């Protein structure tokens, strides 16, 4: 009987989030559900299935307990080094040239429309990734105040988003942050540190279910995605989806990027198994891809 209800819950989770618990992952689902049953004092999965259908907010709590949220600041140093030393200076140079070219255009484009940088952290967990991105931007841009910087950080897990919004991290979480970053971008406390407001205001924390994006829907809070992203971090997310959904996610991420935009994936998520037109950034010596179609940024505005 429990196996039948386990499959009902597995299908429910798949329909709501695209998270896949087939094959070996089926026992992982069972293990995490058993912990949930113990916490709720329910006898079996049949009782939990009724509870899930009848209880407001249980769907979100279920998805919270099914997602793994291991993360840390500046995870994969090679990726952040390439972002800091190559990608951001390159974008800065190109946008500066676009500003100069716009001066002779018949219809003048405001520099504020050109000096804009939009970054998505999909599967942001407790916020270490988007705040690492923000600190990297502040360190690598020569004049960060001249830019319109927007980092959208989204995750399925509501409790993780709460931690990200608070921006407080215990000492154990701070060990990968360079010492001078700690002094500049975090307010030290007895048992940890809090992200300073200048960094926190760069990051918009949202509840993000990638299922909606894969279906072509807009971002939460946006009528439509009229402005694509220059850079997307989607690391250690794809591994939770089935193979067919992984291909849809690759297609979706490609659609969400500007021509020439960059995609950062996790160490175990190379794209060679999928159909795509991304270019591999070989000089990075880590998994970074570039959307190959090119266009003139000013003409596109």
Q: Which structure tokens are listed for 89?
A: 């200076």
Residue-level pLDDT at 171: 93
| Tens digit of each residue's pLDDT (9 = 90 or more) over 184-203 | 999 999 899 999 999 999 99
Q: How far apart are CA 230 and CA 119, in angstroms?
A: 6
The arithmetic mean of pLDDT across residues 223-241, rounded, is 83
| Tens digit of each residue's pLDDT (9 = 90 or more) over 131-174 | 999 999 999 999 999 899 999 999 988 889 999 999 999 999 99
Rg (CA), the chain: 21
The arithmetic mean of pLDDT across residues 15-35, rounded, is 86
Asked if 122 contacts 237 with a C-beta cutoff of 8 angstroms, the reply is yes
Residue carrying structure tokens 């266009």: 295
CA dihedral 89, 95, 100, 103 (to 10 degrees): -160
- CA 300, chain centre distance (Å): 26
Any bridge partners for residue 19, and if so which? Answer: 241
List domains and CATH numbers for the chain: 2-66 (1.10.155), 77-300 (3.40.50.150)
| Tens digit of each residue's pLDDT (9 = 90 or more) over 58-76 | 988 898 888 777 789 999 9
Residue 110: pLDDT over 90 = no
Asked if 67 contacts 240 with a C-beta cutoff of 8 angstroms, the reply is yes
Residue 220: pLDDT over 80 = no
pTM of the model: 0.84
Nearest to 156 by CA among 65, 52, 260, 250: 65
């Amino acid at each position: 009987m429990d196996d039948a209800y386990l499959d009902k819950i597995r299908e429910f989770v798949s329909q709501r989030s695209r998270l896949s618990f087939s094959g070996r992952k089926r026992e992982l689902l069972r293990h995490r559900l058993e912990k949930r049953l113990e916490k709720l004092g329910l006898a079996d999965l049949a009782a939990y299935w009724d509870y899930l259908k009848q209880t407001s907010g249980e769907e979100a709590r279920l998805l919270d307990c099914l997602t793994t949220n291991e993360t840390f600041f500046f995870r994969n140093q090679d990726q952040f080094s390439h972002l800091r030393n190559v990608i951001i200076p390159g974008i800065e140079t190109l946008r500066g040239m676009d500003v100069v070219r716009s001066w002779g255009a018949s219809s003048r484009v405001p520099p504020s429309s050109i000096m804009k940088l939009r970054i998505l952290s999909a599967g942001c967990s407790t916020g270490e990734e988007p705040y690492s991105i923000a600190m990297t931007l502040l360190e690598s841009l020569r004049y960060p105040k001249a830019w319109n910087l927007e980092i959208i950080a989204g995750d399925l897990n509501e409790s993780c988003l709460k931690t990200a919004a608070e921006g407080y991290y215990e000492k154990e979480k701070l060990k990968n942050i360079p010492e001078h970053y700690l002094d500049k971008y975090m307010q030290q406390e007895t048992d940890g540190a809090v992200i300073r407001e200048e960094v926190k205001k760069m990051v918009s924390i949202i509840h993000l279910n990638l299922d909606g994006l894969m279906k072509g829907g807009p971002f939460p809070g946006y009528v439509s995605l009229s402005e694509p992203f220059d850079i997307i971090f989607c690391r250690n997310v794809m591994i939770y989806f089935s193979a067919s959904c992984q291909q849809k996610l690759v297609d979706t991420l490609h659609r969400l990027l500007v021509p020439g935009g960059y995609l950062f994936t996790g160490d175990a998520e190379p794209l060679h198994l999928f159909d795509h037109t991304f270019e591999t950034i070989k000089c990075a010596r880590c998994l970074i891809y570039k959307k190959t179609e090119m266009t003139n940024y000013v003409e596109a505005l």
